[in-house]
């Protein structure tokens, strides 16, 4: 079998969660699917998924339907069924600890406070997978974190986050075409106005 990639965007299923801060991973996978003509019309492995070609590579796009805190169940089932190595996995996830509207690409690392990443690391028994983090802002003092990540963006903030989602989708293409180091050098910066892609 040729090299395959699994690009998994994390989020919560259902219309009640559509457009929330926690669902920017889903939003990025939806954008990738739209750009590359991939239909997310298969329902198996506790997920919605589809496959197609991105930058000449065969890619599965996947959105777990387990709810965020059990994302690892779907990803483990999928990797096992297709006999994919952890090296083939790219996870797209929201992050409250990086600047709003920024993205950060990492080759591996801990889950931090993110329950979706915690679930993946728990089920894979490994944290050595690539992830693209999208900065969704941080809660106000005294605000409950769970309520914050399940809130929606203001109209103004939505413009900024949509740009970040576009950059996150672009970074997936760069990882596939030029490798993760090149993508990190390009996208792990504060000011996207400097980017000329």
Which residues have a catalytic role annotated? Answer: 22
Which residue pairs, CB below 8 angstroms and at least 24 apart, start in 69-72?
69/115, 69/116, 69/118, 69/119, 70/46, 70/119, 71/8, 71/10, 71/116, 71/119, 71/120, 72/116, 72/118, 72/119, 72/120, 72/121, 72/122, 72/123, 72/124
How many C-beta atoms surround the C-beta of residue 67 within 10 A?
A: 17
Q: What angle do CA 27, 17, 89 make, to 5 degrees?
A: 40
């Amino acid at each position: 079998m040729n090299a395959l990639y699994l690009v998994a965007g994390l989020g919560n299923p259902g219309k009640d969660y559509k457009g929330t801060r926690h669902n920017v991973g889903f939003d990025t996978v939806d954008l990738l699917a739209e750009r590359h003509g991939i239909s997310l019309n298969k329902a198996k492995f506790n997920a919605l998924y589809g496959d197609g070609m991105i930058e000449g590579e065969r890619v599965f796009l996947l959105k777990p339907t387990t709810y965020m805190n059990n994302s690892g169940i779907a990803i483990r089932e999928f990797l096992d069924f297709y006999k994919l190595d952890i090296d083939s996995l790219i996870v797209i996830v929201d992050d409250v600890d990086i600047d709003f509207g920024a993205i950060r690409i990492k080759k591996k690392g801990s889950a931090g406070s993110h329950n979706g990443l915690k679930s993946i690391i728990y089920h894979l028994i490994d944290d050595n997978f690539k992830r693209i983090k999208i900065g969704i802002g941080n809660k106000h003092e005294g605000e409950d974190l769970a309520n914050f990540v399940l809130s929606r963006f203001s109209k103004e903030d939505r413009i900024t986050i949509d740009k970040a989602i576009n950059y996150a989708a672009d970074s997936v293409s760069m990882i596939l075409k030029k490798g993760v180091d090149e993508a990190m050098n390009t996208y792990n910066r504060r000011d996207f106005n400097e980017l000329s892609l």
